[in-house]
Amino acid sequence: QVQLVQSGAEVKKPGASVKVSCKASGYTFTSYGISWVRQAPGQGLEWMGWISAYNGNTNYAQKLQGRVTMTTDTSTSTAYMELRSLRSDDTAVYYCARTSWSAVAEFDYWGQGTLVTVSS
Amino acid sequence: EIVLTQSPDFQSVTPKEKVTITCRASQSIGSSLHWYQQKPDQSPKLLIKYASQSFSGVPSRFSGSGSGTDFTLTINSLEAEDAATYYCHQSSSLLGTFGQGTKLEIK
């Protein structure tokens, strides 16, 4: 069965960086892509970006350009999302979700979420 | 950026009632519109992909329709377990976006 297992909760100070991992199993990792979605406390879903595990192509949300980097390690079927220069409004649950290898499409399986708290 | 606007933001409904949630796109997105259900403290789950295709394992009371700019999620004969927030999501452009969500409360 398809599973996406994310790394544990993080607490960071403003200005720091965080790197969240998403380990995939139950399917051929390089046949799909991974999108990252975040949800601030009590708020809706926000699409952050996408990476193809097939060829490494990426697309990022405009508001996060320059602060976010998404990568994959095909040897371990793991996707990573790094967010730099953290601010208090980056406090959110971060989700990875499986999607198409070629472009953003539907998100058919989701990770359990990783809470990132940014606080001084 | 393509903006998705859902209505209503909140709805209180009784079991067995029929519920309709709409999602309007700021420009035509063909059928590249997907629906998700999120219960409190859980990850979202895919219900409908490409406007009207049911995802595997989703109860048949959930259905979707629409194309272009106007889309609808319908829940027939609502059950108590359907209490959740529902989101639409477009994948027409390279930059994905979500609607703001519709919270369903069961009376």
Distance CA A42, CA A44 (A): 7
- Answer whether residue B5 shows pLDDT above 90: yes
Provide, as residue numbers in chain A, all residues whose Cβ is less than 8 Å from the Cβ of B1: 62
Mark yes or no for CB contact A107/B43 under 8 Å: no
Q: Phi first, then psi: what are they for B81, rounded to 5°? A: -70, -5
pLDDT digits (tens, 9 = 90+) for A80-100: 999 999 999 999 999 999 999
Residue A57's contacts (CB-CB under 8 Å, 6 or more residues apart) are: A51
H-type helices in A3-116, by residue range? none
CA distance A17 to chain B (A): 23
Distance CA B96, CA B90 (A): 6
pLDDT digits (tens, 9 = 90+) for B48-95: 999 999 999 999 999 999 999 999 999 999 999 999 999 999 999 889
Q: Name the interface residues of B facing A (CB cutoff 8 Å).
A: 1, 32, 34, 36, 38, 43-46, 49-50, 55, 85, 87, 89, 91, 94-101
